Amino acid sequence: MATGTAHETGSTVRVDVRDGVGRVTLARPGRLNAITHRLLVELRDALLGLGDRHDVRAVVLAGEGRAFCVGLDLEAGLADPAIADPVEATQAGMAAGAAVTWAMRTIPQPVVAAVQGHAVGAGFAFAAAADVRVVGPDARFSAPFLRLGMTVGDFGLSWLLPRIIGHGRAAHLFFSAGVLNAEEAVASGLAAGISADPLAAATDLATALAGHPAYGVQASKRLLNAGAGSSLRDHLDAEARAQAIGALTGAARSAMAEALAATKRRKPGNG
pLDDT per residue as tens digits for the range 221-251: 999 998 888 777 876 787 787 777 877 788 8
Structure-model confidence comparison of residues 267 and 99, the more confident one: 99
pLDDT per residue as tens digits for the range 67-124: 999 998 988 888 999 999 988 988 999 999 999 999 999 999 999 999 999 999 999 9
What string of DSSP letters covers 83-117? --SHHHHHHHHHHHHHHHHHHHHHSSS-EEEEE-S
Alpha-carbon separation of residue 215 from 44, 88, 254, 262 (angstroms): 24, 41, 14, 24
Instruction: Say yes or no to pLDDT of 32 above 80.
Output: yes
pLDDT of residue 10: 67
Query: What's the predicted TM-score (pTM) here?
Result: 0.87
Round to whole Å and give the CA distance between 21 and 56.
Answer: 5
51-55, 81-85, 112-116, 252-256: which has the minimum mean pLDDT?
A: 252-256
